[in-house]
Amino acid sequence: MSAIVLLVTVPLLAALASVVWPRRAPDLVAGAVALGLGAALWLAQAVWRGGVQLVAPGGWGAPLGIELAADGLALAFVLLGAGVMAGVVLSARVEMAPARAGPRAGFGFWPLAMLLWAALNVAVMSRDLFNLYVAIELLTLAAVGLVALGAKPATLVAAMRYMLFALAGSLLYLLGVVLVYAAHGTLDIALLGARVAAPTDALALALMTAGLLAKTALFPFHVWLPPAHAGAPAPASALLSGLVPKASFAMLLRLWFEAMPDRATPGALLLLGGLGAAAVLWGGLRALGQPRLKLIVAYSTVAQLGYMFIVFPLSAQVDAWTGAVFQALSHGLAKAAMFLCAGVFILSAGGDRMADLRGLARALPMTGFAFALAAVTLTGLPPSGGFTAKYLMMTAAFGAGQWPWALVLAGGGLMAAAYLYRPVTALFAGERAAPARAVPRVVQLVPLVLALAAIALGILSAAPFEALQIGRPEGAP
């Protein structure tokens, strides 16, 4: 399946090319994204018609060679990645152009974004624990690099802290992988699903999970996320918040639902769900008190990632799994839109404190509207992808007889409304004191398209729902 190969090679070549010809990087990357978007759509129709698509580069299948496979879950994240990447690359053409952003950010952004994209695609399509390790490592390094583009000292400290958390996470994950290999002699997820259980499995799963939690920034491993995501340049933040945590979450889903569903004890599942609930509450509370828009949006990511982990205690319910993936997708779109909005506001008003935002929607109606639409999705109000996700997960919670999780979902929505209300009213409040600088129309339009896509995910949820069932793991714990 050549689309899968393209989805990995095109970003890698584009990364290389934009290092070689840095001044042409925005155009090279735009071409690569157009090609990659086409490949993603081609893959989508192939999966929709023919089910799971496999490719084994070099002709060696698992367990000897590397195998990449696109099932419904992988396809969903590939499409999300391509869509968000297209939006980010379009709107970064002005802000991150080498001539404007300077040598550091202007030359660093483009290859790092492409590396990140390649790593994301591998991380969601690979079925081998070690390949996954390589992919997530590459993803983390690209992400840390993107944070470090923000040249302020505080941001560099944040990047360093991110790096430490991520490396510790990698180490834990790798330890787990070693234990698995020692016990079973294979790292292929499908083969592991059918393995004979070994005594070290529980420890291996715990180590790998802890490593991935640090990378996903689940509470209480979230402390690196807000300063890092808020400090990076806005287009980079959109990739960091919208895409990066989704890769490690997808790996967690594969580990717990496909590789070792038999090791998922009720206590462990409850712990994961409980951490998710704590993230929803803590992220929401902290977002309420933030003075700057990008910090509010970053803490909101902490909260929104928490929802997805409620899938674990509800894993016996089909709807919970689909709901969690819907949440990942709609959060990815809406959060990318929000960070790009924040970028537009900063370009136009020079800052992102509430006072800077006052009345900005009058000068930037499309972007103001986009921010409000993204807020609707994050709050989980219909008709939006966020609502579909929340409805599916609430139904699953009641179906499993565990209604307190539904309380977390409902309360989290109210908190999201509360912390997003401040920026929304500031944007739409009365007259603006200082004049707003003009921002190119394309840059204003991109977040609106992403926010509308998050809404469309709710209105047209039948097809994505069905696509997600392709190759969905049977082995729910």
Partner 1 sequence: MSALLPVAVLLSSAIPAVATFFLAQDSHGLRNALTLGGAVVKVALIVAMLLAVAGGAAHEARLPLAPGLYILLRIDAIALLFLSLSAVLWLLTTLYAIAYLGGKPQLSRFFGFFSLCVAATTGLAMSGSLISFFIFFELLTLSTWPLVAHKQDAPSLRAARSYLAYALPGSAALLWAIVWLESLTGPVVFTDPPALDALDPASLRAIFALFIVGLGAKAALVPLHGWLPVAMAAPAPVSALLHAVAVVKAGAFGVVRVVYDVFGPDSVAALGVGTVLAAAASVTILWGSLRALRQTEIKKRLAFSTVSQVSYIILGAALASPAALIGGLAHLVHQGLMKITLFFCAGIYDERAGVKTIAGLDGLGWRMPWTSVCFSVGAMGMIGLPPLAGFVSKLYLGLGALEAGAPWVLAVLAGSTLLNAAYFLPLLFRLWFGTPAEGASGDEAAPLLVAPAVLTALASLGAGALAATAVSPLGWAELIVTGGYAR
Among 210, 288, 417, 452, binds partner 1 (CB under 8 A): 417
Burial of 194 (0-12, 13-18, 19+ CB in 10 A): exposed
According to CB under 8 A, which residues from 345 to 374 bind partner 1?
Answer: 365
Judged by beta carbon, residue 199 or residue 430, the one nearer partner 1 is 430
Q: Does 99 bind partner 1 (CB under 8 A)?
A: no
Judged by beta carbon, residue 167 or residue 452, the one nearer partner 1 is 452
Judged by beta carbon, residue 12 or residue 468, the one nearer partner 1 is 468
> Residue 362 is encoded by which pair of tokens?
């009058």
Q: Does 444 bind partner 1 (CB under 8 A)?
A: no
Among 257, 391, 405, 419, binds partner 1 (CB under 8 A): 391
Among 283, 284, 458, 473, binds partner 1 (CB under 8 A): 458
In the complex, the smallest distance separating the C-beta of residue 404 from partner 1, rounded to whole angstroms, is: 12
Judged by beta carbon, residue 29 or residue 393, the one nearer partner 1 is 393
Site string for partner 1, 273-312 (x = CB under 8 A): ----------------------------------------
In the complex, the smallest distance separating the C-beta of residue 413 from partner 1, rounded to whole angstroms, is: 6
In the complex, the smallest distance separating the C-beta of residue 381 from partner 1, rounded to whole angstroms, is: 5
Q: Does 428 bind partner 1 (CB under 8 A)?
A: yes
Task: Supply φ then ψ for residue 69, to 5 degrees.
Answer: -135, 140
Among 376, 449, 467, 470, binds partner 1 (CB under 8 A): 376
In the complex, the smallest distance separating the C-beta of residue 382 from partner 1, rounded to whole angstroms, is: 4
Among 225, 394, 454, 476, binds partner 1 (CB under 8 A): 394
How many other β-carbons are positioned within 10 Å of the β-carbon of residue 326? 28
Q: Does 413 bind partner 1 (CB under 8 A)?
A: yes
Among 73, 259, 279, 392, binds partner 1 (CB under 8 A): 392
CA nearest to 447, candidates 247, 237, 291: 237
The residues, any chain, with a CB within 8 Å of residue 446's CB and separated by 6 or more, are: 87, 90, 91, 340
According to CB under 8 A, which residues from 315 to 334 bind partner 1?
Answer: 322
Stretch in the footprint of partner 1 (CB under 8 A) among 33-41, 47-55, 111-119, 384-392:
384-392
In the complex, the smallest distance separating the C-beta of residue 374 from partner 1, rounded to whole angstroms, is: 13
> Residue 250 is encoded by which pair of tokens?
């997808």
Judged by beta carbon, residue 57 or residue 382, the one nearer partner 1 is 382
Task: Give the position of tokens 């390589």.
Answer: 134
CA nearest to 457, candidates 80, 120, 46, 90: 80
Task: Supply φ then ψ for residue 54, to 5 degrees.
Answer: -115, 145
Q: Does 430 bind partner 1 (CB under 8 A)?
A: yes
In the complex, the smallest distance separating the C-beta of residue 280 from partner 1, rounded to whole angstroms, is: 14
Q: Does 110 bind partner 1 (CB under 8 A)?
A: no
- Do residues 149 and 119 lie in contact, with contact meaning Cβ atoms separated by under 8 Å? no
Judged by beta carbon, residue 91 or residue 379, the one nearer partner 1 is 379
Stretch in the footprint of partner 1 (CB under 8 A) among 166-174, 217-225, 336-344, 403-411:
403-411
Binding site for partner 1 (CB under 8 A): 322, 365, 376, 379, 381-383, 387-388, 391-392, 394-395, 397-399, 403, 406, 410-411, 413-414, 417, 421, 425, 428-430, 458-459, 461-462, 465-466
